[in-house]
Amino acid sequence: MLNKKSLYRTFQKSLKQISPFLSDKGDLLEVGSYCGFFLDTFTKKYKSWNYIGIEPSKWAAEYARSQLNINTRTGTLEDNIKDFSSNYDAVVAWDVLAHLSDPSAFLTQTNSIMKQNGVFCFSTLDIDNWIPKIMGKHWPWLMEMHLFYYKTKTTEQLLNKAGFKILRSEKYVHYVSIHYLVSKIIAILPGWLEKPLNVSRSAMPQKIMIPISFGDNKLYICEKVKVVN
């Protein structure tokens, strides 16, 4: 799993960003928990919290259960929602909203399983940022798997409609290996530069991690302020 180390670094940073809004104990749900790396990071710091993850990938959910002993349900939030109580103190969803066919319904479902004044933290793309405007079709987040791209105002409107108030928004930090970063740069440069850059890339230390934070991926920390139907 080539991106395991970079994902752990990313989640260590995101946990640091949201920690001021978390209490000493409570119940947390992660939607789109992948292989359990965020929850593994979370449980090492918040030992008094109860937690559970939901992950649509059968392979990733099984990895979380078997390799990290992370309590993980297979499926989507909609698949599992009937089995959840309505008293979660915190819900997190990293890089999930862009993949959803109905983000409004997802946010309403998330509201329904949270305590009043519970904390909802997530990251999502911001296409109104200067990076996608400059890069155009070369913006690396333009992918078929991304169904929706958000602007700050649109995100705020969706959250308000679903009963959430934004407490803070800031840049979401991805850590990537220097090899991965250079490969992305090569992909948008003229072809004649590919060979010399690949030679340089092969000589770079593989363990070096680079934080990427241009603001085209944002982290939101929200509070449930009302119940919605």
Amino acid at position 49, single letter: W
Confidence of residue 2 (pLDDT cuts 50, 70, 90): low
Task: Say whether both 8 and 116 belong to one domain.
Answer: yes
Instruction: Report percent pLDDT > 70 for the chain.
Output: 86
Amino acid at position 129, single letter: N
- Answer yes or no: is 74 within a domain: yes
Confidence of residue 190 (pLDDT cuts 50, 70, 90): low
pLDDT, one tens digit per residue, over 194-215 is: 555 555 555 556 677 888 888 8
- Answer yes or no: is 34 within a domain: yes
Order of strands across the sheet with 88-94?
A: 72-74, 50-55, 27-31, 88-94, 114-125, 217-224, 164-171
- Answer yes or no: is 229 within a domain: no
Measure Cα distances from 156 to 107, 165, 169, 181, 222 in Å. Answer: 12, 8, 10, 31, 10
Task: Say whether both 191 and 141 belong to one domain.
Answer: no
Task: Say whether both 29 and 132 belong to one domain.
Answer: yes
Task: Say whether both 101 and 205 belong to one domain.
Answer: no
Task: Say whether both 67 and 155 belong to one domain.
Answer: yes
- Answer yes or no: is 127 within a domain: yes
Q: What is the mean pLDDT of residues 136-155?
A: 85
Task: Say whether both 157 and 50 belong to one domain.
Answer: yes
Residue 144 has pLDDT above 90, yes or no: no
- Answer yes or no: is 141 within a domain: yes
Quote the mean pLDDT of the chain.
Answer: 88
Residue 192 has pLDDT above 50, yes or no: no
- Answer yes or no: is 105 within a domain: yes
Q: What is the pLDDT of residue 121?
A: 98
- Total of domains in the chain: 2
Q: What is the pLDDT of residue 99?
A: 92
Residue 143 has pLDDT above 50, yes or no: yes
Task: Say whether both 146 and 190 belong to one domain.
Answer: no
pLDDT, one tens digit per residue, over 52-87 is: 999 999 999 999 999 999 999 999 999 999 988 779
Task: Say whether both 154 and 190 belong to one domain.
Answer: no
Task: Say whether both 190 and 207 belong to one domain.
Answer: yes
**Alpha-carbon distance 206 to 214, whole Å?**
23
Task: Say whether both 122 and 188 belong to one domain.
Answer: no
Angle at 46 between CA 25 and CA 160, to 5 degrees: 65
Measure Cα distances from 41 to 45, 50, 123, 136, 140 in Å. Answer: 7, 14, 17, 35, 27
From 165, 143, 167, select the one nearest 95 (Cα to Cα): 143
Supply the CATH number for residue 162's domain.
3.40.50.150
In sequence order, what are the beta bridge partners of 53?
A: 30, 72
pLDDT, one tens digit per residue, over 212-228 is: 888 889 999 999 999 98
In sequence order, what are the beta bridge partners of 170?
A: 219
191: domain range?
A: 177-211
Task: Say whether both 129 and 198 belong to one domain.
Answer: no
- Answer yes or no: is 147 within a domain: yes
Task: Say whether both 196 and 111 belong to one domain.
Answer: no
**Which secondary structure element, helix H or strand E, spans residue 91, and what is its range?**
strand 88-94
